[in-house]
Amino acid sequence: MIQVNNLTKTYNNGVKVLHISNLEIPKGQSFGLVGNNGAGKTTFFSLLLDLIQPTSGFIKNNDIQVNTSEAWKPFTSAFIDESFLISYLTAEEYFYFIGDLRNQNKADVDALLNKHKEFFNDEILNSKKYLRDLSKGNMKKVGIIAALIGNPEVIILDEPFANLDPTTVNRLKKIIKELSENPDVTVLVSSHDLVHTVEVCERIVALNKGEVVKDIVTSGETLKELEAFFAV
Every domain of the chain and the residues it spans: 2-231
d(C-alpha 194, C-alpha 123), whole Å: 28
- Amino acid occupying residue 92: E
**Residue-by-residue pLDDT tens, the chain, 232 positions:** 999 999 999 987 778 899 999 999 999 999 999 998 888 999 999 999 999 999 999 999 999 999 999 999 999 999 999 999 999 999 999 999 999 999 999 999 999 999 999 999 888 988 889 999 999 999 999 999 999 999 999 999 999 998 899 999 999 999 999 999 999 999 999 998 899 999 999 999 999 989 999 999 999 899 988 888 888 6
**Helices (H), strands (E): how many in the chain?**
8, 10
Q: Are the C-beta atoms of residues 183 and 153 closer than 8 Å to each other? A: no
Q: Which CATH architecture has domain 2-231?
A: 3-Layer(aba) Sandwich (3.40)
∠ at Cα 183 (77, 149), nearest 5°? 30
d(C-alpha 20, C-alpha 47), whole Å: 12
Grouping H, G, I as helix, E, B as strand and the rest as coil, residue 113 is: helix
Starting at the edge strand that comes first in sequence, how are the strands of the sheet with 30-34 ordered?
A: 76-79, 154-158, 186-191, 30-34, 203-208, 211-217
| 90 DSSP assignment | B
Cβ partners under 8 Å of residue 162, min gap 6: 140, 191, 192, 193
